[in-house]
Amino acid sequence: MPDLPQLRLAVERVLKTTTEREILPRFLNVVGQMKADGSAFSAADIAAQESLIAALASLVELPMIGEEMPTETQKTAWERGYAEGVWVMDPIDGSTNFLVGLPQFAVSVALVRRGRPVLGVSYLPIAREMFSAVQGGGVWLNGQRLPAPAGAGEKDLADAVASIDFKRLPPHLALRIVHEAPIYSQRNFGSSVLDWCYLAAGRLDAVTHGGERLWDYAAGWLMTEEMGGCVATFDQDDFAATPPWKRSVIAARDPELFRLWRDWIRRQMSGIGDQGSTPQPR
C-alpha cells in the first residue's frame, strides 16, 4: 500500500477525474428518483460510484462502502475491512441540490481503519475546491496546507456561525435553536460533506446534525480533528463510541467554543418531553 500522503494525492486525482467524466456532464441534465429512505438520487450517483469503485481498487484493493450500495453489502464490507481498511465513498453528497441545479454538492472518499478515518478527500466541483487530509498530516486545500487556527478560545459563542440541519433534529431541540440559540447565526447548505469542508477552512465555526451516515462524516471527521477541532454526538463525547451507520454530530474547530455549544445542546436535549419548557415564538 502506498504511504498515506502519496495515496491522498492519488485519491484527489480520482475524485477530479470522476467528477469531470461522470458528474458534471449530468449536472442539470439528469432525472432524479427517490430511495426508500426519502433521499434523492440519480444516474449520476450510480455512474460516479461505479467509477470510484474501479479507480480506488486500482490504487489499493480493499472492501468498499458506497452510499448507493445495499445495506447488507455495506455491513459486510465494514466487517471484512475493519482491521486493514475499508474505502467509504459518497458519489454525490447533496443530491437534491444537484438535481435542482444548486451548486452546493460534493464528492467524498475516506479510508477508514478500525472505525476511524486515516485519509479523507472531498471535492466541491463547482467551486473547484479539493479538500484532503491524512492522519497526522493536516488538512490541504487545492495543494496548500491550511494553517492551524489562531486565537483558540478567543471567539465567543455569541459570534459563532453554525451549519444546522433542522430536518433531522428532535423537534424540541430545533425549536430551541430557532428561538433561543446562543450563536450569532445558522446556515444550512444541503450537503454534509460541504459543511465539514467549510468547518475545516474556518468558514463555519460549528456543525450540528441529527443523524449523518458514515459516508457523510468520515472524511470531515478526520479534517476537523486534524485542524485541532472536536467532534461528538448528542450523548457521547467519544464520536467513535456509537454505531457507525448513523450518528448525530456536534463539531467545532475551537475546543472551547465546542464545549460551550455541546453543553448548551445537551441541556436542551435533557428537557425533551417537558412541554412546559417549550419556547414560544417571539
Average pLDDT along the chain: 91
Q: Which residue has the higher pLDDT, 275 or 126?
A: 126
Q: What is the pLDDT of residues 201-223, one digit of tens each?
A: 999 999 999 999 999 999 999 99
What is the pLDDT averaged over residues 153-167? 89
Domain boundaries, the chain: 4-145, 157-277
Out of 39-43, 73-77, 130-134, which region has the weakest mean confidence (pLDDT)?
39-43
Q: Give the number of other CB atoms < 10 A from CB of residue 69.
A: 17
Averaged pLDDT for residues 33-44 = 65
In CATH terms, the superfamily for domain 4-145 is Fructose-1,6-Bisphosphatase, subunit A, domain 1 (3.30.540.10)
Give the model confidence (pLDDT) of 85-108 as tens digits. Answer: 999 999 999 999 999 999 999 999
pLDDT band at 27 (very low <50, low <70, confident <90, very high): very high
- For 233-271, the pLDDT digits (tens) are 999 999 999 999 999 999 999 999 999 999 999 999 887
Weakest mean pLDDT among 42-46, 164-168, 172-176, 217-221: 42-46
Rounded to two decimals, what is the model's pTM?
0.91
- At the top level of CATH, the class of 157-277 is alpha beta
What integer pLDDT is reported at residue 40 of this predicted model? 59
**With 80 as the cut, is the pLDDT of residue 34 above it?**
no
281 vs 72, more confident: 72
Give ∠ CA 170-199-175 in degrees, rounded to 5. 20
